[in-house]
Amino acid sequence: MINFLKYIFNISLLFLIIVSLFPGSLLGYIFYNDLGEEINLVENPFGTTINHFISYLYVSILGFFVYLRSKNYKIIVYALFAVSVLLECIHFLIPNRSFQIEDLLANILGVVVAYFVVKIYLSLCNYE
């Protein structure tokens, strides 16, 4: 089961990277046939920034739980934090993409919230 979840984590992370680095909105192109159209995962007053939070929360929780008992756990924590910052900063260089501080904060917040969710879960289950 862990190997299957590692596979899902790696595929999810790869998908997140591809969607982040694609010049334009890949999901907008898939769903609306328009590279300029962003999709909202959840209707909200914050626009597509919530998509960043949800995406990084999902990938981070999955990664943290999958690698929880691994010696690579700390590496995964630092790597997901670095990816959340790096992918948004690279938007300065990609055509039809723009760096947004709100998206950067949502990326980081997704990783941080996932980290604390895992820590709270562990403390409730007396694993630490």
Query: Is a pLDDT exceeding 60 seen at residue 115?
Result: yes
- CA pair distance 73, 4, nearest whole angstrom: 17
Question: What average pLDDT does the structure give for the chain?
Answer: 89
Distances (CA, A) of 124 to 13, 66, 115, 127: 28, 18, 14, 8
pTM (predicted TM-score): 0.88
User: Are residues 14 and 71 in contact, defined by beta-carbon separation less than 8 angstroms?
Assistant: no
Span 25-43, pLDDT tens digits: 778 888 888 877 777 777 7
Joined tokens for residue 113: 């919230």
Our count of domains for the chain comes to 1
Phi and psi at 102, nearest 5°, equal -65, -40
Span 42-83, pLDDT tens digits: 777 777 889 899 999 999 999 999 998 888 899 999 999 999
Structural domain range at position 113: 2-124
Residue 22 DSSP class: S
